[in-house]
Amino acid sequence: MSGWYGVLAWPFERAAQNRALRLLAVKETDIALEVGSGPGHTLVQVARIMGTRGRVVGIDISKGMLRTARGRLVREKLLSRAHLTRGDAVRLPFKEDSFDAAYLGFTLELFDTSEMPLVLAELRRVIRPGGRFAVVGMTRSEGASRMLRLYEWLHIAWPRVIDCRPIHVRRTIEQAGFTAMTAETRHICGLPVEIVVATPY
For residue range 21-47, what is the model confidence (pLDDT) as tens digits?
999 999 999 999 999 999 999 999 999
DSSP assignment of 61-89 equals S-HHHHHHHHHHHHHTT-GGGEEEEE--G
Domain count for the chain: 1
Residue 97 domain boundaries: 2-199
Give the pLDDT band (50/70/90) at residue 190. Answer: confident
CA–CA distance from 55 to each of 25, 26, 73, 90, 96 (Å)? 14, 10, 13, 22, 17
In this model, does residue 2 exceed pLDDT 70?
A: no
pLDDT band at 14 (very low <50, low <70, confident <90, very high): confident
Nearby residues of 110 by Cβ (< 8 Å), 6 or more positions away: 36, 163, 164
Whether 89 shows a pLDDT value over 80: the answer reads yes
* pLDDT confidence bin for 7, thresholds 50/70/90: very low
Mean pLDDT of 109-118: 93
Residue 201 has pLDDT above 60, yes or no: yes
Report the pLDDT value the prediction gives residue 160, as an integer from 0 to 100.
Answer: 61
- Nearest-Å Rg of the Cα atoms of the chain is 16
CB of 6 within 8 A of CB of 39?
A: yes
Q: Residue 132: what are its φ and ψ, rounded to 5°?
A: -125, 155
The answer to whether 198 and 179 have CB atoms below 8 angstroms apart is: yes
CATH number assigned to the domain comprising residue 127: 3.40.50.150
Q: Between vectors from CA 44 to CA 76 and to CA 199, what angle results, nearest 5°?
A: 160
135-174 per-position pLDDT tens digit: 999 887 555 566 556 555 455 555 665 556 688 999 999 9
Across residues 73-90, what is the average pLDDT? Answer: 96
